[in-house]
């Protein structure tokens, strides 16, 4: 049981390049999330998904796209990277089961630098 | 105004001492509350949920004050391993219970 995994762990991009971050969970969770964390700002929600085939915008969605083609995977795409997207990206998942207190489980993060 | 606000600290705490800090939230309709712990450059991990009646887990005590819209975390008998950033998380602060709002975190440094 690996929990939540993210690939890659580190990446350096040049302005204008594109990339996809992959998140996978093996806990059969319905909800999945993408956050970014910047110094002094806490985690901010980029996009989230309440189930396979559905996605929704979070607090800071501009410049990102997502897809949830399979329940266990949630992909975050950067179409044209900008230096403002330099950040640590965390994926998370949570159960819809109230007995779990809606605990979110996080992946180890992806450290992205855009030059 | 941020929806969830925390004192960033750092709170410098001698080993064995007690430390407490709060988190305020702006939306009175918020439904669920949590404390997460985040070690440097690692992912956040759930420390404890916060229930209306208050709850305790070992050396950690969490309380909720709905009237004043804040939650608190108290750590007794601090250990060196308690050094971390503690994130306040509120659920249901917007239109969906599935969307969590995070505070920026309170840093705690426990010293020998």
Percent of chain B with pLDDT over 70: 93
Provide the token pair at A92.
């998370």
Write out the residues of chain A at the interface with chain B, using a CB-CB cutoff of 8 A. Answer: 31, 33, 35, 40-45, 48, 50, 58, 88, 90, 94, 101-104, 106-109
Residues B63-73 have a mean pLDDT of 95
CB B2 within 8 A of CB B101: no
What is residue A40's predicted lDDT score, i.e. its pLDDT?
77
Question: In angstroms, rounded to a whole number, what is the distance separating the alpha carbons of residues B54 and B5?
Answer: 20
What is residue A101's predicted lDDT score, i.e. its pLDDT?
60
Strands B60-65 and B70-75: antiparallel
What is residue B41's predicted lDDT score, i.e. its pLDDT?
82
What is residue B32's predicted lDDT score, i.e. its pLDDT?
86
- Interval A51-73: pLDDT, tens: 999 999 998 999 999 999 999 99
A interface mutation test: which of B41, B46, B100 has the most A CBs within 10 A? B100
Q: Looking at residue A9, what DSSP letter applies?
A: S
pLDDT reading at A92 higher than 60: yes
Picking from A12-16, A73-77, A97-101, which range would have the lowest pLDDT averaged per residue? A97-101
Question: In angstroms, rounded to a whole number, what is the distance separating the alpha carbons of residues B58 and B85?
Answer: 19
pLDDT reading at B39 higher than 90: yes
Residues A41-59 have a mean pLDDT of 91
Give the one of A41, A58, A106 whose C-beta lies nearest to B44's C-beta: A106
């Amino acid at each position: 049981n690996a929990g939540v995994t993210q690939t890659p762990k580190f990446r350096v991009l040049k302005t204008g390049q594109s990339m996809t971050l992959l998140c996978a969970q093996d806990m059969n969770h319905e909800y999945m999330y993408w956050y970014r964390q910047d110094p002094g700002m806490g985690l901010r929600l980029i996009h989230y998904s309440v189930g396979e085939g559905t996605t929704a915008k979070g607090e800071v969605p501009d410049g990102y796209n997502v897809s949830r083609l399979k329940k266990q995977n949630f992909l975050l795409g950067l179409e044209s990277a900008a230096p403002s997207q330099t950040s640590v990206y965390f994926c998370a998942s949570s159960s819809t089961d109230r007995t779990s207190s809606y605990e979110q489980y996080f992946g180890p993060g992806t450290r992205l630098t855009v030059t | 105004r941020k929806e969830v606000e925390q004192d960033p600290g750092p709170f410098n705490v001698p080993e064995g001492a007690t430390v407490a800090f709060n988190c305020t939230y702006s939306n009175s309709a918020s439904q669920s509350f949590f404390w997460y712990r985040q070690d440097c450059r690692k992912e956040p991990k759930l420390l404890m949920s916060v229930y209306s009646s208050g709850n305790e887990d070992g050396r950690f005590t969490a309380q909720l004050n709905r009237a004043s819209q804040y939650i608190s975390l108290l750590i007794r008998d601090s250990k060196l391993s308690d050094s971390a950033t503690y994130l306040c998380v509120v659920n249901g602060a917007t239109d969906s219970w599935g969307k969590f709002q995070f505070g920026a975190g309170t840093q705690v440094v426990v010293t020998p």
